[in-house]
Amino acid sequence: MAFSLTGEQEREFEKILARYPNKMAACIPVLHLCQGANGNWVSDEVITFVADRLGLSTAHVAGVTTFYTLFNRHKPGEHQVWVCRTLSCALRGSDKVLAHCKKRLKIEEGETTKDGKITLRTAECLASCGSAPMMQVDKSYHEDLTIERVDEILNRLLES
């Protein structure tokens, strides 16, 4: 089945195009719109759709999706847990946070739990250096983490 947007999403698409000097410049926000419309991931059908609508090659659009980490090329879990691993977080224990998440969830970074609840990811910087170590769950920041706090967060996600 080919990917398409709803009427409301089409109107948002047109608003995005109106904000940019050319269609190529709108590629990233259009991809975000389409990713949201496709269950939070960018399928091959979405890449073809965006390329066709923006007059770009599929190779260009695919390159954007693989360069930027906020685009999911595979269907993610219900929740995405990003552990920051930049220097500030690393110096304050992000390696222990990541190791604990892997052990607790029985997955490696980039994988999704068997129940489809959580995808574990790492990020080079989540811009919260003063409150390291930290992780982002979906769109919420969790800072000054301890292993106990990580367990509380993971418990909430797994029980939802």
- For 51-104, how does the pLDDT look when each residue is reduced to its tens digit (9 = 90+)? 999 999 999 999 999 998 889 999 999 999 999 999 999 999 999 999 999 999
Residue 69: what pLDDT?
A: 83
Q: Is the model's pLDDT at 7 over the cut of 80?
A: yes
Give the pLDDT confidence score for residue 138 in this predicted structure. 92
- Tens of pLDDT, residue by residue over 35-62, are 999 999 999 999 999 999 999 999 999 9
- Mean of pLDDT over the chain: 95
CA distances from 35 to 80, 88, 132 (A): 14, 31, 29
Using DSSP, state whether 89 is helix, strand or coil. Answer: helix
Model pLDDT for residues 100-143, shown as the tens digit of each residue: 999 999 999 999 999 999 999 999 999 999 999 999 999 999 99
Residue 23 has pLDDT above 80, yes or no: yes
In order of their start, the domains of the chain are 7-67 (1.10.10), 79-159 (3.40.30.10)
Per-residue pLDDT for 1 more than 90? Answer: no
User: Is the model's pTM score more than 0.85?
Assistant: no
Look at the chain and count its residues. Answer: 160
